[in-house]
Structure 1
């Protein structure tokens, strides 16, 4: 194999995830059968918990077309795609604060929210509420007698 153009472009997280899926990476317990290295599985496991897992090629292309109207560099576009900022303040580490007017940063965030799918959530609000109540019960048992009581 001969590499014609090395380091032509940087890849988005979506493109890396898409490549790993094409190689056979998945959350399937039989994933040891696929021809994917352990380090690639670590990258895959990380990326499926980011905004990249919900993106599609169409949404990425639509976003890149829509954001071209603003004076944003390719590196900044890449970071916006990978991070998926939900508020203008999240754009400050990506685009120097003050380089673009506030209305432009707000418009970029609006584009992100409307075109790119929302990232996956770790836990729903119901799970958080249930987990908090259980935690309170344990702490109450511990404070009453100094140690946990067996209620069975």
Structure 2
């Protein structure tokens, strides 16, 4: 597994968590999307299962640019890297969905919770589209 920074460049193997988009992008780069027979690409059967799952999540409609933009716009909220990754992966669309993703949410964000939810909705396309 490879670590991809928010600029989407491989920096160091096994250095940290990935967004679902980064995993999906990596599997696409190995040919998972182009091999309907599932025998020609250098992708393991378990990786095809991950690819199939991620194709039906918010990751399939995200872009490198949208993730980078979201991370930059999150700076005022002082979120940790893991909190940003969780938000990117889950794409919460309401304050109820964002509460479990951010530690001490009420104390840290106070009345900015709805702002953060609006930012998520603005930056990331709907996964239902």
TM range (shorter): 0.7 to 0.9
Q: Please give the per-residue CA displacement for 1:30-66, whole angstroms capped at 9, x wherever unaligned.
A: 2321111000001001100100000000111000100
Contact 2:77 2:109 in 1 (8 A): no
- Which residue of structure 1 aligns with residue 128 of structure 2? 120
Structure 1 or 2, whichever has the larger Rg, is: 1
Cα displacement (A) at 1:113: 0.3
In structure 2, the residue matched to 1:40 is 47
Flag the structure with higher strand content: 2
- Counterparts of 2:128 and 2:99, CA distance in 1: 23
Q: CA deviation at 1:120?
A: 3.4
Deviation at 1:102, TM superposition (A): 4.3
Structure 2 length-normalised TM? 0.83
Q: Size of the alignment, in residue pairs? A: 118
RMSD: 1.9
Aligned to 2:111: 103
1:19–1:6 Cα change, 3 Å: closer
Q: Is the 8 A contact 1:49 1:120 kept in 2?
A: no
